[in-house]
Amino acid sequence: MAPAGNRYPVPGTCPVCGDELAVTRLRCGQCGTTLEGIFSLGRFYYLTREQQQFIAVFVKCRGKIKDVEEELGISYPTVVGRLDEVIATLGFTPQATPPPAATLVAMSQEQRQLILDELSAGRLTSAEALALLQGEDLPPSE
């Protein structure tokens, strides 16, 4: 069954060889004006239908992976894997997954608050405050 108005989604790749397709003719549905040439489809037309549906859900969920997991009924690693596939298909290099955050050391609430107060007052950088919260020693200041 044809979509409403007999308009089909534009395929981005050739069903025979898999190479990129080019649009060579455009027509205005209102006035009938026709343009001929070689037009680029844009990156998103080269995604598979499944990848396009995934991106629609991802955008609907505002990029919140937990919400994508729930919407699609898939695990966190599966969401990340599908996102990496889309990123690669769009021609981008996926960023390496950041290492897990370092564990904060056990310290009193007063010690933690002192570090945060120093950060807030501008006497510590965020990197220095994080290092202290993780139990690292700061190098002596010059």
- Tally of domains within the chain: 3
51 and 84 share a domain?
yes
Is 67 domain-assigned? yes
77 and 104 share a domain?
no
Rounded CA-CA distance 119/102 in Å is: 19
Is 114 domain-assigned? yes
Per-residue CA distances from 79 to 24, 30, 141 (Å)? 36, 41, 44
pLDDT in tens, 30-65: 999 999 999 887 888 788 889 999 999 999 999 999
Is 142 domain-assigned? no
Per-residue CA distances from 15 to 21, 58, 93, 139 (Å)? 10, 27, 26, 61
Q: Per the confidence metrics, is the pTM higher than 0.75? A: no
Is 73 domain-assigned? yes
Query: What is the domain extent for residue 36?
Result: 9-42
Is 69 domain-assigned? yes
Is 36 domain-assigned? yes
104 and 129 share a domain?
yes
pLDDT in tens, 101-115: 555 667 788 888 888
Is 70 domain-assigned? yes
